Structure 1
Amino acid sequence: MRYVYQTDKGKVRELNEDAVAVFPGDTGLLAVVADGMGGHKAGDVASNLTIEQFEKLWSNVDSPINEIDTQKWLTDSIKQVNNIVYEKAQAEDAYQGMGTTVVAAICTERELTVAHIGDSRAYLFNQTNWKQVTNDHSLVGELVRTGQLSEEDAQVHPKRNMILKALGTEFDLAPDIYRSDWNDFEQLLICSDGLTNKISDEELHELILTTPKEDISQTLIDIANERGGEDNITLTIISHQEKVGESSC
């Protein structure tokens, strides 16, 4: 496997409240994207605290990655990180109400497991198709799922940024889980909504297929910024069919 990751504060925000990291292991890797919220600097605290805690938990894994129960590990880890963020938000007035989205994926040569809370997304891509493997925990996401709103209308809905579920906003919050063999898919994209609000799924598929791998993260960020860049923009792409390589950030 090979991976790249990058984050950018965009053209409007003064602060980057997104955070991203990829942690390699002996037989796979862990990738995490978090999009913080909660007022001045609090979102930044929530997202970075999430990454820091995942790094600690990952460093304590003492079995080969392909031998652990990835679904249980991600569920337990997200609950633990959630409670740490929640307790910090409750303990300090400046951080009250803070939270963050999170998408965390464990990828091995054989399979991938994705856990998420919020409206940051994960997609699988191959040469001919793509699949979104997370469901947005947002107002418009729920309206789309229940047939009350089209995908097109969701893109311009005035409450499209209203999140219904976020890490750190209540105790013992559990993630949604997606688990699968790689099958025919070749690449996993995890990203914050600063990217998907500016680039359609069809465009993402085409760009990931046609852009040189060393340029893809900056290319996607540049396009999102050219189209307004009102939000922070963060992504990581894991390519399954290549050996693990150096990251970019």
Structure 2
Amino acid sequence: MPQVQLSWGSATHIGQREENQDRFLAVPPVFAVADGMGGHAAGAEAAQKAVDSLSKTIGQPTLTVQALQDAIRMADEGIRSLGEADISMVGAGTTVAGVALVEDAGELCWAVFHIGDSRVYAWTPTSWGQVTVDHSLVQVLIESGHVAPENAATHPQRNIVTRALGVGAGGDADVTMLPVGEGQRFLVCSDGLSNEVPEDRLAELIGSDTTPDVTAQRMVAEAVENGGRDNIAAVVLHVVDVLPSG
């Protein structure tokens, strides 16, 4: 399989909240963001559980989709066990979203995964857009025709998620497979970023000549300047080069 040269950066900010419950992982082959919910200690602990579980997959060039889903299931089980051991942790949950470099049918691919309303965006010199589809009440209302997409960002119920790790029915993450290509760029973020910075501005920032680390810091800084009502986390990933195998 071909070899991939990557560059990445990350940033986070507490925003106007009392505690930062966003967590992120940016170590090949996994780049992810988790946004905790369920009270101060519970939300932070749930997001950390998600990152810790995914961290067990690092240290190898690629994963399989099965290994990725296994790590997410392990996180879900670990978060649920928090409430069983400590009543103050009942209701702990977290979103999670990210990209993982995987081997699928002998091909090198990106597995874009998510549960909840944390997002993954993909950029190339000729395209830009959100890859994930939010697991949120507003998304349900959009798909049913009850809310116009342009009104989603200001809808009063925009923060209600329909799926999360640790709560509800559980299940696997949604996964979208993308081919690996030179010049690709990804943004993985919590809703504290996507709710504060317009998508066209995010595209402008990720398409700039700055390093991924500087880009992530600028995105988070602009979210803070625009109100920063929630915790904010961003991971920016560049595919610098794709080298042929052998």
SS at match of 2:129: strand
How many residue pairs get aligned? The number is 232
Per the normalisation by structure 2, the TM-score is 0.87
Given that 2:122 and 2:184 are in contact with CA atoms closer than 8 Å, whether structure 1 keeps it comes out as yes
Identify the residue that residue 3 of structure 2 maps to in structure 1.
none
User: Which residues of 2 match residues 91-170 of structure 1 at below 5 A?
Assistant: 91-107=85-101, 110-170=108-168
User: Which residues of 2 match residues 222-237 of structure 1 at below 5 A?
Assistant: 222-237=221-236
SS at match of 2:82: helix
SS at match of 2:142: helix
Identify the residue that residue 182 of structure 1 maps to in structure 2.
180
Determine which of 68, 75, 78 is the counterpart of 2:72: 78
Q: Per-residue deviation at 1:194? A: 0.4
Per the normalisation by structure 1, the TM-score is 0.86
| Partner Cα distance (1:217, 1:113) in 2 | 21
Q: Per-residue deviation at 1:186? A: 1.1
- In structure 2, the CA distance between the partners of 1:230 and 1:20, relative to structure 1 (3 Å rule), is same
Given that 2:121 and 2:129 are in contact with CA atoms closer than 8 Å, whether structure 1 keeps it comes out as yes
| Partner Cα distance (1:241, 1:211) in 2 | 12
| Partner Cα distance (2:173, 2:53) in 1 | 16
Q: Per-residue deviation at 1:2? A: 0.6
CA-to-aligned-CA distance 1:150-196 (integer Å, 9 cap, x gap) = 12211110000011111011465211111110357610110000000
Q: Per-residue deviation at 1:142? A: 1.3
| Partner Cα distance (2:98, 2:235) in 1 | 11
| Partner Cα distance (1:171, 1:41) in 2 | 22
Identify the residue that residue 191 of structure 2 maps to in structure 1.
193
| Partner Cα distance (1:13, 1:104) in 2 | 23
Structure 1 portions without partners, runs of 5+? 244-249
* 1:3 to 2:8 alignment: yes
Identify the residue that residue 247 of structure 1 maps to in structure 2.
none
| Partner Cα distance (2:65, 2:223) in 1 | 32
Identify the residue that residue 30 of structure 1 maps to in structure 2.
30
SS at match of 2:77: helix
Identify the residue that residue 246 of structure 1 maps to in structure 2.
none
SS at match of 1:159: coil
What is the identity percentage for the equivalent residue pairs of Structure 1 and Structure 2?
34
The farther-off stretch of 82-91 and 190-199 is: 82-91
Q: Per-residue deviation at 1:110? A: 3.8
Instruction: Give the root-mean-square deviation of aligned CA atoms.
Output: 2.0
- In structure 2, the CA distance between the partners of 1:210 and 1:57, relative to structure 1 (3 Å rule), is closer
Structure 2 portions without partners, runs of 5+? 1-5
| Partner Cα distance (1:116, 1:190) in 2 | 10
* 1:215 to 2:220 alignment: no
SS at match of 1:86: helix
